Amino acid sequence: TPFSMDAIHISEWFDYICDHYFAEFSFDRSQIEVQWSHNMVWYSGKTEYPTASSATIMMNKKLLEMLPLEETVETYIHEAIHAILHVTKREYNGDPDHGDAFMREARRIQAINPHLDHLHIATPDYMEQVNTIKKYHWKCSDKCARTNIPELAGYVDAGGWVSRARNKAPGKGEPRWNDHVKLCG
Ligand SMILES: [Zn+2]
Ligand SMILES: [Zn+2]
DSSP string computed for 55-86: EEEEEEHHHHHHS-HHHHHHHHHHHHHHHHHH
Give the per-residue pLDDT at 133: 61
**What is the rounded average pLDDT of the residues 4-22?**
76
- Separation of CA 72 and ligand 2 centre (Å): 29
Ligand nearest to the CA of 148: 2
- Separation of CA 159 and ligand 2 centre (Å): 9
pTM of the model as a whole: 0.62
* pLDDT tens track for 32-81: 999 888 777 667 888 998 998 999 999 888 777 777 777 778 888 999 99
- Please report the domains of the chain, with CATH numbers, ordered by start residue: 10-127 (3.30.2010.10), 134-183 (no CATH)
Q: Does residue 177 sit in helix, strand or coil? A: helix
Between the two ends of the chain, the Cα-to-Cα distance in Å is 34
Whole-Å CA distances, 140 to 18, 99, 149, 150: 43, 43, 12, 15
Using 50, 70 and 90 to split pLDDT, how confident is the model at 166? confident
Check whether 135 has a pLDDT greater than 50. yes
